[in-house]
Every structure is written in C-alpha cells, then in structure tokens.
Chains A and B, each alone.
Chain A
Amino acid sequence: MSPTPQRLQITAANPDPALLDLPWDVPLEQWPAETLAALPRGISRHIVRFARLSGRVIAIKEIGETVAYREYELLRQLGRLDVPSVEPVGVITGRRDPDGEPLEAVLITQHLQFSLPYRSLFSQSLRPDTATRLIDALAVLLVRLHLVGFYWGDVSLSNTLFRRDAETFAAYLVDAETGDLHDRLSDGQRAYDLDVARVNIIGELMDLQAGEFLDDEVDAVAIGDALAERYTDLWRALTEVESFGYGERWRVQARIDRLNDLGFDVGELDIMTDVDGTTVRIQPKVVDAGHHSRRLMRLTGLDVGENQARRLLNDLDEYRAATDRQAEDEAFVAHDWLTEVFEPAVRRVPKELRKKLEPAQIYHELLDHRWYLSQQQRRDVPMKEAAKSYVKNILPGRPDEQSILGVQASDLRETDVIPRVDDEIIG
C-alpha cells in the first residue's frame, strides 16, 4: 500500500501562498538550516522555529491540532481587543511525512519586529532599573489582559516579548496556549495568574543564574515580588472605588488625570452619591490603555508605543510653544510638526541603519542626544545638527534589533561581554 499522501489544510485570515513552499512534510526539529531564520532559543514546551517568509519572519510552533486552532482563535480575539500580543498567521494541519506518518499541526505567528526576548535583556550586567522597567512592562500587560477578561494561566518571561518604548519597555503576549477569555475574571483567577507569574519569573531568573548569564547578586525573588506589587498597585489605581465629600468634586477630574498619566483613557466612570448627597463614590468601569498613543495617532497618524507617544507629544508641545502657535488648532500644528520636524529627522537615518531601531524609538533617542549635546555645548542645538551627530556617532553602534530571535546577549546594549545564551528547546 502506498503511504497516505499529505493533504495540508491551511487556516489563515490572509494566507500567503509562500507558506506552501515550506517543508511541511519534515518534522520541525529537522528543518534545514537554510529555511530557518535563526536558531531557536528560549524555554518552550514545544518545538518552535523561526523562518523567513516573503520578507518577514514567522514563528512556527508544533502543537496538537485542537490546541493550535484554539490558540489561533484566542490570539485573533486578543488582537481585536487591542491587547499587545503576537499576530497569528494561521494553522496548518494534515501534515504527513513522506512515509505517510502524520506530523503535528503547527500554529504560525508573525514575529514581532523590534522585539527582544527576555534572555537578551536579563543578563549578567542587568541594571536594576532595567529589571524594574521590564517588570513594569509585564505588570501593565497583565493588568491589560485581566481588564479584558483574559486569564493567561502560564504567565512567564518566556511567554512574553519586550519592545523598547522610549525609556521604558512594552510587553507583548506571545503564548496564549493556556489562556481563556472570560466576560470578567474572578479575584481568584487574577490572584492565581499573578502567583504563577511570580513563581515562573523567579524560576526563569534562577535558571539564568544557574547558567551564569545573570549575576548571583541579583535578587530573583525580589524581582518576582516587585511584579506582584506593581500589578496590585496598578490594578487598584484603575479599578478602585474612591469616596469623598460632595465639596471635593475636583477629585473626579483628578482621578481621570491620574489614569491618563498612567497611560489609560477612562471609557466609563461610575459616579454614585449616597442618599443625602454628602459623599460621592467614583469607580472607573471601562479603562483603555494607550491614552497617549491614541492621541498621537489621532493627531499625526503615527502608530507608536505608549511612552514613545508620550515623548513625541511632549516634543510636539515644545514645538507649539517655540513657534508660538498655542492658540491654533492642535491638529494643524501637529501636521506641521510631523512634516517639518519628525519626518525630516527620521529620514536622515540612512537605509542601512533603519534595522537598528523603530523610527519612533530613533526619534526618542535623537531627542535624548539633542538634550545631551545642548547640555554639553551650553546652547540650543538644532534638530538637524543633532540628527547628523546621532546618525554619525550613536546609531552605528547600536545592534540591529529588527529581528532578534535568539540573540547572543553580547549583541545588545547594557550587556557587555557575556557568554552566548545557547540553550535548546526542552520539553
């Protein structure tokens, strides 16, 4: 009897015909090196590989069929809910090897450009503030997921990617396999998720220490605890009921301002007064992350990270003041800022250096550089000049972060001479 031939079924929202050219009849573990984008890294339960496809990079994970469809659908829903997560490309089932033996289904996701795996960020020379910023980013992600009713089930650094966001980081969910979407999470679900996160993070850091990639001096338990603390603070700020006397109604606006400051818009705020009208209780009911990035998007069409947006908006404000146009419609000023300031500055970066960082991140660094030059030279250095110096002196020394898949830690900033992170998939 001849072997059962492979009959692939591809489920994808926008199928790319080039998908068919990949060697689906070969177990992922044995894919030829020329197909792969880089060696796979990180701790995973499953075999995961990266491959180049039509000029982009995709991540391919071998996983049971039902679980693959489920995760694909969950990632799509998370995308629709505007939660930072990797974008699912599709599911492929019906794989068979040339002998007709069935092979596992695969889930394909888009590699997140300019993202950094935690192993390249937490490393021997981890600065305490870098750890704090990464943990902050993860806390924000977890709060955002919980706000939309997503129970992760396996929060960990391995299941998260980080992207630079001005001086901070933004975290993205990579693995939704153990997750569930609910109308609303119970306190127990949130507490459990947070507890799992804490234990996993500490375990991952202890593992880095065991492999001598991270200094033993770093207190892994304290970092794990910091996450729990940050999460709890943020959750409280976003959801807590606040009571005050009728005379203190300014506190309504103050609460909204505080939430905006944290990067959240208030979609719905419950205001209740008691029977005799002496106390007011307020509670945010709907909050949406991305206050600054939405505002920048509205004004300029730029789609950037929350803190990058904050930085760019500040620059826009400065531009407005410097050109004395405070009275004008903000949208007009923003348009001029975009065409006269932002775009010319970013365009100064030669093509070959554009893989280093995202444009908004480059602009953020440019602002830093201009500030530094101005301090040094005790004068207001114009953007044009600052950009020239930045492109010449700073940017060439930056690593290419567009597609970091399993980097050698030493390729990255803040990570001096480190042995290569060279582990393999376990499990």
Chain B
Amino acid sequence: MATVTFDHATRVYPGTERPAVDALNLHIEDGEFLVLVGPSGCGKSTSLRMLAGLEDVNAGRILIGDRDVTDVQPKDRDIAMVFQNYALYPHMTVADNMGFALKIAGTPKADIRKRVEEAAQILDLTQYLDRKPKALSGGQRQRVAMGRAIVRQPQVFLMDEPLSNLDAKLRVQTRTQIASLQRRLGVTTVYVTHDQTEALTMGDRIAVLKDGLLQQVGTPREMYDAPQNVFVAGFIGSPAMNIGTFPVLDGHASLGRARVAVDRAVIGQFTEDDKNHITIGFRPEALDVVPGGTPDAIPVVVNIVEELGSDAFVYGSLTNEFGAASAVHSGAGDAQVIVRVDPRQVPAKGETIGVRIRPGEQHLFHAGSGERF
C-alpha cells in the first residue's frame, strides 16, 4: 500500500507549447480511491499515464510512497493497470487465469495458490477456482479479470476509463462492483473518467482537470456544494448547474426585472476585471416555483418536462422580456434553465412559471476570473 504524489508534475508534448499537464500537485492517500475527471483533452489520461510510466515527465516528480518513480520503468513501479475486459484463456482454470502472471514472474507455486485463494475469496470465486471460464457467468468472468490484477498485490491500481466499452446497464453494475471491491481491498486507486456521475459515485475524492490544470480536488460533497470556480460548478452535477453573469446595481444582481441580493462583503471583493458584474450559479434544486406575480420571480417558459418518478425537471427558456436571456446557460444550452419541480405538480409544456433562487443556495463567482467568492 502506498500514497501517490504528483509534485509539480508536468508533461509537454513535443511540438506543443501548452503543457498537457501543467505543474500538477496532488497527494493521494494510502488506500484512497481518487478519480481524475474532466472533459476530453483536460490531461486526466496523461496524468495517469505519467504515473504509470507511459509518459515522460518533463518537469516535477512523481512519488509512490516515499519513492521517486519519475524515471522508473513501468514494470518496476509496482502498479497494475486494470482492464475490465481482459480476454480469459479458455483452457486454463479460473485459478490459472488469475495466477499465470505470477507463474511467469517465477513466484513459488504455494505462494501463487495462496494469493489466488485470497483474491478468490474477496471476489466470491472460491468455488469456481478449478473450473474453466466457459462455466462462469459474464459477471464472474469479469471478476476473474479483476483477480488477475489483484493477485499481483500492487501498491496502486490504475484504471483508465475501464467502463467505456460496456453498455449502459453493465456500466452501472460494474461501477458499483469496482467501488465496493476497492474498499474491500483498500488498495490506493487512481481512476480516470470523463463522466462526472462516475466520478461522484465512485471516488473518495475527485480531482477535476481542465486544459492541463487542476481545478479543484475534494470529496464529491465538497465539489458539489462548494465548487471553486465556474468550470467545476458547471461540470459537476447532473443536471448541470444554471449559471449566469449579471450586472450588479444597488447591492443586487439584476436578472432582468428580478433582483438577487448580493452580500455587501462580496461586492467589496469585486475586482476591476469583474466590471461590476457577478456570476451566479444555482442548481436546479435550488429553485422554488412561486405563484405568478411574486416579486423578483424569474419567468421561465417550459419547453420539456423530464419526469423521473422521484424527481421532475423542467427544461425552460428565459425570455428577453426580462433582460438579456442569453446571460444564462445550463446543461440544456444557452438561455436555458433547468428547474427541479415537485413531481406531483408538473407544469405543462408551453406554460410560463415563475421561479426564485432559494436564499443562500446560490454560488457566487467573480465575473472576471470565474473564481468563487
């Protein structure tokens, strides 16, 4: 078991100026499940491959435990890349499928058997050890594949979008399996995905990257409740946060005719860059539907109602009648907002509803830098 440390780790691809990973500082605790997440091209896979030894590190260092592995060959790093989808060998028993890499490495037979049996127990495969893969269900075969990595007893597991080839149903199932298995094994794990739902549901902590820069690292709850900047705010959470930039007048941000009070202390922190504007984020569940004519209500024209049983979401447009609608965007697009409504009282398509941000549930960011106040 070990910690993993990225210490100003930087990767610049030849012929490019902007680093693919720019001075990444990240400390992963022993036994922790850390998810690297971000849009395509953010540097998450490059970071993982740097840790695996597949990418050169141009500046900074990488440590596994106290050991500087920056220039160590991949196979000597004591890490295991885990694939969900190993092909299993049809003529070998489950035990041999799990243990053959140890055999190649020259591990004594008794040790191999012991490690395979331990792994089988964790994976609920004990009774199948002497069977051939053909006799197993799809899920059991997947566990055998996991077993292959487990018996090596590496210090760190690395997983690069391991679920991307699976269909949606299997993806959800396997997601849970991996997460619970990792907790049982307690092996430090670094997991890469572009899917923020995967990140939120699996990770002890999540590190969000964008353009090679670490944006924020924290527990799923921290990332959700206190995103450090506009990017993280918009990236984490599904449906995505509604975000808009508005002028501030007399201590209020004006959303058209509606006004949202902004704390004096916040206004005091305005910089020149902000140009007297503020960026406000509000999650779909931070909105109350209020009766027509309520002061400060934001009118929303209902485009679609998505009913999920436990929840219902209105995907609506803002109207220019109340100001610059295009100032707001959400997961649904520009000039669109998403509102969670009572699933037992859903508005009709085409209807206009009034919504109001629940006091204290807005996220305030600098309009200039995008950083959280």
23 inter-chain pairs at a CB distance below 8 angstroms, sorted by A residue, are: A45-B165, A63-B165, A184-B14, A186-B55, A188-B54, A188-B73, A191-B73, A192-B54, A199-B104, A202-B104, A206-B96, A207-B89, A207-B90, A210-B89, A210-B91, A210-B93, A212-B91, A423-B91, A424-B134, A426-B90, A426-B133, A426-B134, A427-B86
- Residue A221 is within 8 A (CB to CB) of chain B in the complex: yes
- Residue A54 is within 8 A (CB to CB) of chain B in the complex: no
B-chain residues with CB within 8 Å of residue A186 when the two chains form the complex? 54-56
Report the nearest A residue to B165, measured CB to CB.
A64
A-chain residues with CB within 8 Å of residue B101 when the two chains form the complex? 199, 203
- Residue A10 is within 8 A (CB to CB) of chain B in the complex: no
Cβ distance B59 to chain A, nearest Cβ, rounded Å: 15
B104 and A221 contacting across the interface, CB-CB below 8 Å: yes
Given the interface pairs A199-B104, A206-B92, A210-B91, the reply to whether A427 lies near B85 with Cβ below 8 Å is yes
Determine which of B15, B56, B74, B86 lies in contact with A183 in the assembled complex, contact meaning CB atoms within 8 Å. Answer: B15
B-chain residues with CB within 8 Å of residue A206 when the two chains form the complex? 89, 92, 96, 100, 103
C-alpha gap A82/B74 in the complex (Å): 29
A-chain residues with CB within 8 Å of residue B55 when the two chains form the complex? 186, 188-189
From 136 to 174 in chain A, residues with beta carbon under 8 angstroms from any chain B beta carbon are 151, 158
Report the nearest B residue to A204, measured CB to CB.
B89
- Residue B320 is within 8 A (CB to CB) of chain A in the complex: no
Cβ distance A49 to chain B, nearest Cβ, rounded Å: 16
- Residue B212 is within 8 A (CB to CB) of chain A in the complex: no
0/1 string, B82-116, CB within 8 A of A gives 1: 00011111111100100011011000000000000
Given the interface pairs A64-B165, A203-B101, the reply to whether A183 lies near B89 with Cβ below 8 Å is no
- Residue A389 is within 8 A (CB to CB) of chain B in the complex: no
C-alpha gap A424/B87 in the complex (Å): 12
C-alpha gap A14/B20 in the complex (Å): 36
From 386 to 427 in chain A, residues with beta carbon under 8 angstroms from any chain B beta carbon are 423-424, 426-427
C-alpha gap A181/B53 in the complex (Å): 17
Report the nearest B residue to A194, measured CB to CB.
B75
- Residue B201 is within 8 A (CB to CB) of chain A in the complex: no
B-chain residues with CB within 8 Å of residue A424 when the two chains form the complex? 90, 134
Report the nearest A residue to B96, measured CB to CB.
A210
A-chain residues with CB within 8 Å of residue B92 when the two chains form the complex? 206-207, 210
Cβ distance A190 to chain B, nearest Cβ, rounded Å: 9
B87 and A66 contacting across the interface, CB-CB below 8 Å: no
B75 and A426 contacting across the interface, CB-CB below 8 Å: no
A-B contact number at CB 8 A: 97
B53 and A43 contacting across the interface, CB-CB below 8 Å: no
- Residue B294 is within 8 A (CB to CB) of chain A in the complex: no
Cβ distance B26 to chain A, nearest Cβ, rounded Å: 20
- Residue A283 is within 8 A (CB to CB) of chain B in the complex: no
Closest 6 A-B residue pairs measured CB to CB?
A: A211-B91, A207-B89, A210-B91, A188-B53, A423-B90, A192-B74
B-chain residues with CB within 8 Å of residue A67 when the two chains form the complex? 164-165
B-chain residues with CB within 8 Å of residue A212 when the two chains form the complex? 91
- Residue A306 is within 8 A (CB to CB) of chain B in the complex: no
Determine which of A64, A188, A192, A224 lies in contact with B166 in the assembled complex, contact meaning CB atoms within 8 Å. Answer: A64
Cβ distance B152 to chain A, nearest Cβ, rounded Å: 11
- Residue A89 is within 8 A (CB to CB) of chain B in the complex: no
B90 and A43 contacting across the interface, CB-CB below 8 Å: yes
At the interface, is chain B mostly helix, strand, loop or mixed? loop
A-chain residues with CB within 8 Å of residue B87 when the two chains form the complex? 43-45, 158, 426-427
- Residue B141 is within 8 A (CB to CB) of chain A in the complex: yes
- Residue A195 is within 8 A (CB to CB) of chain B in the complex: yes
A-chain residues with CB within 8 Å of residue B15 when the two chains form the complex? 183
A195 and B74 contacting across the interface, CB-CB below 8 Å: yes
Given the interface pairs A191-B74, A206-B96, the reply to whether A43 lies near B89 with Cβ below 8 Å is yes
Report the nearest A residue to B166, measured CB to CB.
A64
- Residue A208 is within 8 A (CB to CB) of chain B in the complex: yes
Cβ distance B57 to chain A, nearest Cβ, rounded Å: 10
- Residue A265 is within 8 A (CB to CB) of chain B in the complex: no
A183 and B141 contacting across the interface, CB-CB below 8 Å: no
- Residue B125 is within 8 A (CB to CB) of chain A in the complex: no
A-chain residues with CB within 8 Å of residue B134 when the two chains form the complex? 424, 426
B-chain residues with CB within 8 Å of residue A213 when the two chains form the complex? 91
- Residue A25 is within 8 A (CB to CB) of chain B in the complex: no
Residue with the greatest number of chain A CB neighbours at <10 A, chosen from B53, B73, B88, B104: B104
0/1 string, A194-224, CB within 8 A of B gives 1: 0100110011101110111100000001001
Cβ distance B96 to chain A, nearest Cβ, rounded Å: 7
C-alpha gap A210/B93 in the complex (Å): 9
Determine which of A192, A198, A204 lies in contact with B52 in the assembled complex, contact meaning CB atoms within 8 Å. Answer: A192
C-alpha gap A158/B86 in the complex (Å): 12
0/1 string, A268-281, CB within 8 A of B gives 1: 00000000000000
B-chain residues with CB within 8 Å of residue A224 when the two chains form the complex? 104
C-alpha gap A45/B142 in the complex (Å): 11
B-chain residues with CB within 8 Å of residue A199 when the two chains form the complex? 101, 104
Cβ distance B137 to chain A, nearest Cβ, rounded Å: 12
- Residue B13 is within 8 A (CB to CB) of chain A in the complex: yes
From 17 to 75 in chain B, residues with beta carbon under 8 angstroms from any chain A beta carbon are 52-56, 73-75
C-alpha gap A44/B87 in the complex (Å): 6
Report the nearest A residue to B92, measured CB to CB.
A210
B-chain residues with CB within 8 Å of residue A158 when the two chains form the complex? 87
A-chain residues with CB within 8 Å of residue B93 when the two chains form the complex? 210
C-alpha gap A427/B141 in the complex (Å): 7
C-alpha gap A44/B165 in the complex (Å): 14
C-alpha gap A207/B92 in the complex (Å): 6
A207 and B91 contacting across the interface, CB-CB below 8 Å: yes
- Residue B321 is within 8 A (CB to CB) of chain A in the complex: no
- Residue B263 is within 8 A (CB to CB) of chain A in the complex: no
- Residue B250 is within 8 A (CB to CB) of chain A in the complex: no
B-chain residues with CB within 8 Å of residue A191 when the two chains form the complex? 53, 73-75
From 82 to 121 in chain A, residues with beta carbon under 8 angstroms from any chain B beta carbon are 104
- Residue B351 is within 8 A (CB to CB) of chain A in the complex: no
- Residue B272 is within 8 A (CB to CB) of chain A in the complex: no
C-alpha gap A204/B97 in the complex (Å): 11
Cβ distance A208 to chain B, nearest Cβ, rounded Å: 7
From 158 to 181 in chain B, residues with beta carbon under 8 angstroms from any chain A beta carbon are 164-167
B88 and A427 contacting across the interface, CB-CB below 8 Å: yes
B-chain residues with CB within 8 Å of residue A208 when the two chains form the complex? 91
C-alpha gap A28/B56 in the complex (Å): 41
A45 and B100 contacting across the interface, CB-CB below 8 Å: no
B53 and A192 contacting across the interface, CB-CB below 8 Å: yes
Cβ distance A160 to chain B, nearest Cβ, rounded Å: 14
B53 and A211 contacting across the interface, CB-CB below 8 Å: no
Cβ distance A419 to chain B, nearest Cβ, rounded Å: 11
Cβ distance A228 to chain B, nearest Cβ, rounded Å: 11
A-chain residues with CB within 8 Å of residue B13 when the two chains form the complex? 183
A-chain residues with CB within 8 Å of residue B53 when the two chains form the complex? 188, 191-192
Given contacts A45-B86, A63-B165, A206-B89, 11 further A-B contacts (CB under 8 A): A43-B87, A43-B90, A64-B164, A151-B54, A177-B165, A186-B56, A192-B52, A195-B74, A207-B90, A423-B90, A426-B89
C-alpha gap A206/B52 in the complex (Å): 27
